[in-house]
Amino acid sequence: MEILDRFCSARNVAFNLDLSNEAISAAHVSFLTDIIEQNAAKTFSFTYTFNNALSSPYFPSATFERNGFAVGLQPTDLSTDVRSTEEWLGRMREAWHEIDTIMEPEEDYLGVDTSIAPLFDGGSSLINFVSRLGLDFSRVVTSDFFLKIADSIKKGGSRRVGLCGLMFPCLEDFELAAEYEKGNFSVERCLFLSLQSGLGIDAYPVGVDEDPERIADVLRLAQGLSNKHRKPLSARFISDGMARIGDQTALANPYLKDVIVRPL
């Protein structure tokens, strides 16, 4: 607990707790609830991980394996004026190849984590891209749309490292946050998308009055799915330390969208 106290008072520290092979209990949930009580803003910098990929540059799930550096992008911006998924994927492949070329002389260059990390709204939002293609988010969830994108970003000639998946950060993609408020991004749907192409429960709101056993249930499910499918997953819950289920958050974080909190 001394480490947790130091984390809550630190200015710029992120960490993750590996639960790949743990018997998940109330003690593991208390890591989250204690952070919420001590310094809720630090929930942004903490995540649970399961079979985590090594050397990804994306915090807080980043885990050290060897000396060196990796590069990660937020490539949704490359989709701003494209007319098809393939055109966007082509632009990403060009960017990854250019980075590989530039970094080739660097002995400690590990590669590119080709993950797609959405942020904000408009051209930076993955949900906005779906809408610009004339598609409905709820419908594409049960199509092969995201499967095809995930398959593409795991292939190609780039030097890949880390997670290399499709992220669905609920509160960081502001248009995904709007879908959450409408009831279109439940924790069940989040995990369903994670099995298709995503990386887990990311930047997902939780009320201060959420049942700790319910949180443990969700962690056990994420662990079981990760182990069954041999897939890296994580669970990052966000709280402002005040908002209960049914309340509006007041996160005071420019990277997170305030929402009405729903039960898990």
Does any domain span residue 78?
yes
The number of angstroms, rounded, from the C-alpha of 150 to the middle of its chain's C-alpha atoms is: 14
Tokens of 244: 């209960």
Q: Which residue carries 């007319």 as its tokens?
A: 83
The single-letter code of the amino acid at 120 is F
Percent of the chain predicted with pLDDT > 70: 99
The pLDDT-based confidence of 9 (bands split at 50, 70, 90) is: confident
Structural domains counted in the chain: 1
Q: List, in order, residues 6 or more apart from 163 with CB less than 8 Å away.
A: 53, 56, 58, 61, 113, 115, 199, 232
For residue 254, being part of any structural domain is answered with no
Considering the domain boundaries, does residue 206 fall inside one? yes
| Residue-level pLDDT at 156 | 64
Residue 243 lies in a domain: no
Q: Closest Cα to residue 55, out of 33, 40, 70?
A: 70
In a domain, 119, yes or no: yes
- Condensed to tens digits (0 to 9), the pLDDT of residues 65-109 reads 999 999 999 999 999 999 999 999 999 999 999 999 999 999 999
Phi-psi category of residue 200: left, alpha or beta, with phi > 0 → left and psi -120 to 50 → alpha: left
Average pLDDT (41-57) is 96
Q: Whose CA is closest to 141, among 97, 99, 190?
A: 190
- pLDDT the model gives residue 166: 95
Whole-number percent of the chain with pLDDT over 90: 91
Domain of residue 7: give its range: 2-238
Work out the average pLDDT over 110-127.
96
